Every structure is written in structure tokens, then in C-alpha cells.
Amino acid sequence: MPNYIRPKVAGATIFFTVNLAQRGTDLLIAQIDLLRWSVAQVRGRRPFAIDAWVVLPDHLHAIWTLPAGDHDFSTRWREIKAGFSRKLGETGRRSPSQHARGEAGIWQRRFWDHHIRSQADYAGHLAYCLSDPVTHGLARRAADWPYSSIQRDISQGRIAADWAGVAPDGRFGA
């Protein structure tokens, strides 16, 4: 079994991709209120800033900034996933055998993380995050996708309402 070693950088800004175990479903948008509840519960106990967030049917991307002196993003993700899974289990989405074993099987076990290293790196990952619904053919414009922090950013004047994003070319980490 691989031994994952994650960087421990207090106050870091980090890009994440988190996937459902079963790709091709619409669970995350069908249960968006439950996901929002789980995130809010964790943020109440373990604060972090949400720089960007987009939820697609079967995966999500986020950019967080952790508080100064705090590097533990893994616990936050574990708690978000667990809270979502527990509440979803209450709605009868798990089989009896999964419930008996304490398994949800909803999320992929791990997640992908990337520590942001520069302003250009941040801009590239922000564009990737916000434009992903367009990339997947779910919206014509990033601002048309309702499950994204772009609405917040437009209303606060951080992003122009007609922002289309720059299609990332895969050269992250500049």
C-alpha cells in the first residue's frame, strides 16, 4: 500500500480535486444542500477560507487557504466526506451490508492536492476550477453554473460577470 506524504505548510493555499467512487453519477449536485451542510459543519470546527469551489455531478474542485499556524487539510476533507456520507446514509442510499460494516463507499479514498506556489499558479488553478463546468459541457459560461463560487466572486466584484476564464493549458506550477 502506498505511503502518501503530504506537505505540512501552515497557512498554505491548496488546490484540491475530490472524486466520487462511482464516476458518472449526479450525486453531488443532487445532494448539494447536504454537501454544503457538511462543509459548513467542518468550517465551524476547523476554519479555512474558500478561495474557489466548484461542484460537478461526480467530483469537485476547491482552492482553500488554511489559517496561519494550521496545516491539517486532510482532517478537514475526512470530516467533510464522513459528514456527507453519514447524513446520506440516513436517507437510505447505503446497502444494509455497507451500513453494517460502517462503509459508505461514496468517495474515492483519497483526493488530489496541490500547494499553490505563485500568483501565476493560483491564477491557473482558479481558471481551471471555475471553468470546469464549461469544459465538461455542463454550462456555456462559467457564470451559468449554479454550483460554483464564481457567483460569490461576481457579486463581490472580484470577477467580472462576463468572465470566461482562460482555458488552462496544463502548465500548472509556474
* pTM, to two decimals: 0.84
Task: Output Rg (C-alpha) for the chain, integer angstroms.
Answer: 16
Report the share of the chain in percent with pLDDT over 70: 82
DSSP class per residue in 37-55: HHHHHHHHHS--EEEEEEE
Q: Answer yes or no: are the C-beta atoms of 58 and 29 closer than 8 Å.
A: no
Strand order in the sheet with 13-19: 49-55, 59-65, 13-19, 112-115
Quick one: average pLDDT of 5-19?
88
**Neighbouring-strand partners of residue 60:** 18, 55
CATH architecture of the domain formed by 13-117 = 2-Layer Sandwich (3.30)
Chain centroid offset of residue 132 CA? 12
pLDDT in tens, 49-87: 999 999 999 999 999 999 999 999 999 999 999 999 999
Task: Give the C-alpha separation, 42 to 51, whole Å.
Answer: 16
Quick: pLDDT tens for 114-140: 999 999 999 999 999 999 999 999 999
